[in-house]
Structure 1
Amino acid sequence: MESAIDTHLRCPRTLSRRVSGDYAPPFPMFVARGDKALQQVVMAYFGVQYSEEGKRPQALAALGHIVESFGLADGPVRHDLTDHVDNQDHHNLMAVAYWADPAAYCRWLRSDDVRAWWESQERLTEGLGYFREVVAPRVEQFETLYAFTEDFPGIGGVMGQCSDEIEEHGYWGSMRDRIPLSQTDWLEAGSELTVVSGDPAKGGRVIVRGHDNIALIRSGQDWMAAGEDERALYFDEILPSLQDGMDFLRDNGDTLGCYSNRFVRSIDIDGNELDESYNIGHWRSLDALERWAESHPTHLRIFVTFFRVVTGLEKLRLYHEVSVADGKDQMFEYINCHPRTGMMRDAVVPAAV
């Protein structure tokens, strides 16, 4: 058994772990490992939003264009696609992309084809909404956790390797303990979300400035290879409590420090649903996420269910990734999206001068 924090990322702790040194986890879990050369990654969520079902073919075409752009020079290492309906009854198609090199991402972003399409006036007039939510955490600012050891989704697929069984899981606070920077830093939130360009109430182009240590969680469930018994376990036991928790955060998360919560279904390029779902949550801080996880009934029900079933899982794959990022390494942009989309809901609009 080994620490979740890779050898080259360990340092003398000034902040202690949440458990004693002789703690033994109740079941095996694993984390992704990356090469020592990996310094920083990019996690990018590109969205297409529409409110009328008749717009779906147009929205899928727009999503297809975004995915096609991934094939340009310096495109992402991997990506996946999702769909969900938010609490304003808007559909949101997303391409979720990962880069292992921020410099490559910047070259891709600034390439003529990508820049011209996003900046085109057509994005304002074609009757769709668009958004880009991008964070670029350093390797010491994120952690992963898997109940399986191969074919990792998300950022784990970028890192490419797997640990042995790890120590830091199965207790409150283990998420923080797996983040290397937590050895010496409380990872506290800085400042507030602020609208720096545009007005969410008026539509058009809106840019929101983030702040240090916004926490981003992707927590997934993959039943593609699961048999009948495990599918029944997911749909009858895991999903009901999970859905309740995700709906609560979607509708009431602002009271807890959750800026945005999306429970999404994976899709293929044609919009067909796949047997996978995951939650995407942006939180004001890791501390706010921890308080909900440790004390709120909606998460305690999820946690209890997970502990009860996890040792019997064979093909049902459960995982998560959690990151924090510096404010300068975040970008939130919205084009003709409804004003409660993503970071816009909680962003402060400066008073007119």
Structure 2
Amino acid sequence: MESAIDKHQKCPRTLSRRVADDYQPPFPMYVARASEDLNQVVMGYFGIQYSGSEKKAAALAALRHIVADFGTADGPAHFDLTHHTDNEGYDNLIALGYWRDPSAYQRWLASPAVAGWWASDERLADGIGYFREVVAPRAEQFETLYAFTDDFPGVGAIMDDVSGEIEEHGYWGSMRDRFPISQTDWMRPNGDLQVVHGDPARGGRVVVRAHDNIALIRSGQDWRAAEGDERRLYLDEIEPTLRAGMDFLRDNGKDVGCYSNRYVQSIDLDGNLLDESYNIGHWRSLDRLERWAESHPTHLRIFVTFFRVVAGLSKLRLYHEVSVFDAQHQVYEYVNCHPQTGMMRDAAVDGR
């Protein structure tokens, strides 16, 4: 048994863990490990938004353009593609890229092809919406958790190794305890979301300024290899409970501190759905995420269902990653998106 926090990230604690030192977790879980030279990663969510089946072809073409740009110099080391329908009825496609080196990301972003395409007036005139939500946690500002030990999705795909069985899971507060920064920092938010360019109600280009310690969770389910009873267990019991919780946050998240929640399903380049899904949840703070997880009926049902079935899972792959960010390491930009999209919903406009 080992700590989720790697040896080179350990420091004298000024804040205690939320569990006794002799705690024994109820089942095995693992985290991704990175070598000491990993200082910061970049997670780039590049979205296309459209309404109406007649615009699907243009949206898929835009998605393929982004993926082609991913394949150029300094593109992400790993990416995946998703679809979801938001609570305004718009379809959204997202290409999510992970960079191990922020400098490589900046070079990629500044390349004429990428910078020129995003800044082009064509983005304002082609009848579909675009967004990019880019965050860059330092190595001490994110944690992972997996019920398996190979072929990691998400940020785990750009890490170097896997832990043995870890101590910090299976109890309320374990998510926070897996953050290296939690040894000395409460990760409290400061400030509010603020529109600093454009007006969401008028469309066009909008930029939202973030605050410190926004929390982002990606929590995923991969049932591609699941068969028989295990597949039925996921589709008939786990997934409906999960969907109810994700729909609650999508529709009512503002009341509990969730800025944006997207329950997405993986797709291929032609838009075909794959047997993998995850939620993308931006929260005002890790504390607000914890409070919802520990007390709200929608999440408690998810938690209880998972604990009841986890011992019988063999091919269903469950995981999550959670990050917090400095304000300066977040970019939220929207082009022709409806005003409820992403961070625009809760961002103040000229004091409003």
Q: Normalization by structure 1: what TM-score?
A: 0.99
Task: Tell me which residue corresponds to 2:54.
Answer: 54
> How far apart in 2 are the matches of 1:82 and 1:296?
27
Per-residue CA deviation, residues 279-301 of structure 1 (Å, 9 max, x unaligned), is 00000000000000000000000
Task: Tell me which residue corresponds to 2:29.
Answer: 29
Task: Tell me which residue corresponds to 2:253.
Answer: 253
Tell me how far 1:156 sits from its aligned partner: 0.3
Matched, 1:278 2:307: no
> How far apart in 2 are the matches of 1:190 and 1:198?
23
Task: Tell me which residue corresponds to 1:128.
Answer: 128
> How far apart in 1 are the matches of 2:47 and 2:5?
32
Task: Tell me which residue corresponds to 1:145.
Answer: 145
Letter in 2 for 1:186: W
Instruction: Name the SS of the counterpart of 2:318 in structure 1.
Output: strand
> How far apart in 2 are the matches of 1:148 and 1:255?
34
Matched, 1:197 2:188: no
Tell me how far 1:351 sits from its aligned partner: 4.1
**Alignment coverage as a number of residue pairs:** 352
Matched, 1:158 2:162: no
Per-residue CA deviation, residues 158-209 of structure 1 (Å, 9 max, x unaligned), is 0031000000000000000000000000000110000000000000000000
Matched, 1:222 2:222: yes
Task: Tell me which residue corresponds to 2:65.
Answer: 65
Matched, 1:182 2:178: no
Instruction: Name the SS of the counterpart of 1:346 in structure 2.
Output: coil
Per-residue CA deviation, residues 110-155 of structure 1 (Å, 9 max, x unaligned), is 1100000000000000000000001000010000000000000000
Letter in 2 for 1:283: W
> How far apart in 1 are the matches of 2:192 and 2:29?
35
Matched, 1:241 2:241: yes
Structure 1 runs of 4+ off > 4 angstroms?
none
Task: Tell me which residue corresponds to 2:96.
Answer: 96
Per-residue CA deviation, residues 85-132 of structure 1 (Å, 9 max, x unaligned), is 000000000001100010000000011000000000000000000000
Map 1:9-24; keep pairs closer than 5 Å. Answer: 9-24=9-24
Instruction: Name the SS of the counterpart of 1:187 in structure 2.
Output: coil
> How far apart in 2 are the matches of 1:228 and 1:105?
42
Percent pairwise identity: 71
Letter in 2 for 1:243: R
Instruction: Name the SS of the counterpart of 2:16 in structure 1.
Output: coil
Instruction: Name the SS of the counterpart of 2:345 in structure 1.
Output: helix
Letter in 1 for 2:87: N
> How far apart in 1 are the matches of 2:110 and 2:224?
36
Per-residue CA deviation, residues 45-90 of structure 1 (Å, 9 max, x unaligned), is 0000001111001100000000000011100000000000000000
Letter in 2 for 1:145: L
Gap regions ≥5 residues in structure 2: none
Tell me how far 1:350 sits from its aligned partner: 1.4
> How far apart in 2 are the matches of 1:78 and 1:220?
16
> How far apart in 2 are the matches of 1:160 and 1:335?
36
Gap regions ≥5 residues in structure 1: none
Q: Normalization by structure 2: what TM-score?
A: 0.99
Task: Tell me which residue corresponds to 1:43.
Answer: 43
Instruction: Name the SS of the counterpart of 1:73 in structure 2.
Output: coil
Task: Tell me which residue corresponds to 1:318.
Answer: 318
Instruction: Name the SS of the counterpart of 1:192 in structure 2.
Output: coil
Letter in 1 for 2:118: W
Per-residue CA deviation, residues 240-272 of structure 1 (Å, 9 max, x unaligned), is 110110000000000000000000000001100
Per-residue CA deviation, residues 14-55 of structure 1 (Å, 9 max, x unaligned), is 000000000000000000001110000001100000011110
Tell me how far 1:312 sits from its aligned partner: 1.1
> How far apart in 2 are the matches of 1:147 and 1:101?
27
Task: Tell me which residue corresponds to 2:333.
Answer: 333
Letter in 1 for 2:141: Q
